[in-house]
C-alpha cells in the first residue's frame, strides 16, 4: 500500500509542477489570467465620478447591471 501512495504522491507533484510551469509561461507571454473585469476602464472612471457626485451604490449598480460588491470594489480601488 505504501508503494501505491508514493507513486500517487509523485504523480500529484508532477501535475502541480506542470501546472505551475504552464502558468508561468502564460504570464511570460503576457496573457491575462483569471476572470475578466465586469467593468471596463472607462466604466470604472464613470463609476468613480458618480460616487464622488454622491449617487447611491445601489443605483450605480443597477445602471451598470452589476452587483453592489463590484461597485464597492471600484470605490475601494480609488
Nearest to 64 by CA among 78, 51, 52, 76: 51
Task: Assign 1 a pLDDT band (cuts: 50, 70, 90).
Answer: confident
Q: Tell me, yes or no, whether 27 and 46 share the same domain.
A: no
Mark whether 62 and 50 lie in a shared domain.
yes
In whole angstroms, what is the distance from residue 52 CA to residue 55 CA? 8
- What distance in Å separates the CA atoms of residue 68 and residue 20, rounded to the nearest whole number? 34
Confidence of residue 6 (pLDDT cuts 50, 70, 90): very high
How sure is the predictor about 62, in pLDDT bands with cuts at 50, 70 and 90?
very high
Q: Domain containing 7: what range?
A: 1-34
User: Both 30 and 40 in a single domain?
Assistant: no
Our count of domains for the chain comes to 2
Amino acid at each position: 500500500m505504501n508503494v501505491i501512495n508514493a507513486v500517487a504522491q509523485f504523480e500529484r507533484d508532477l501535475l502541480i509542477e506542470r501546472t505551475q510551469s504552464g502558468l508561468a509561461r502564460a504570464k511570460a507571454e503576457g496573457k491575462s489570467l483569471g476572470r475578466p473585469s465586469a467593468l471596463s476602464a472607462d466604466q470604472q472612471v464613470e463609476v468613480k465620478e458618480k460616487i464622488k457626485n454622491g449617487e447611491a451604490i445601489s443605483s450605480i449598480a443597477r445602471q451598470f447591471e452589476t452587483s453592489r460588491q463590484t461597485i464597492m470594489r471600484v470605490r475601494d480601488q480609488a
